[in-house]
Structure 1
Amino acid sequence: MLEYVILFNLLSGTIVFCSTRKHLLLSLLSLEFIVLSGFLSLVLVMMVYGYELYFSLMFLVFTVCEGALGLAILVSMVRSQGNDYLSSMSLLSW
């Protein structure tokens, strides 16, 4: 039953990420939700097979780094353009 809940969370996060077209903050939140459900499935698999949970700690470290990088991009985008609309983002402005 827990596997279905994790799969539902992963699919709903992916659908929200694919449908987000307006704000960068919403896409970052949906990415964090996908990573959180991936972490939950990783811990579940490690506990079922009896592995050590040190890899889950490494996963959390990289997740925090990814979240901090996303927030830094969001802050720099708001400072340079005044909003977080994805439509105003251009590769030439970076």
Structure 2
Amino acid sequence: MWGTAPAGTLGPLDITYGSDSDTRKGSFKNGTFEATLPLDDDAMYFNVMAQLQGSGDINCSVTVDGHTEKAHAAGGYNICHAQANSGLLGGWG
């Protein structure tokens, strides 16, 4: 995750990330947030989500096994949500 996201009345940028069985909380520092998780072959998805706190412009992405999903949010209390889903026949999409 990268961009500008000043703390608002409700506090700093609210970041959650993980998989369908493992949700974690992240911290936005110096205009970025990055995390690496072990690949769980049984996971249905991996995602990252952040809600702006009144202003800002951020991009977020999730990369699983070489496949990347991206998203963007700007202004207000908008949410950046990127998610990579496990395919029915394997792989990530």
Normalised by the size of structure 1, how large is the TM-score? Answer: 0.28
Larger proportion of strand: 2
Normalised by the size of structure 2, how large is the TM-score? Answer: 0.28
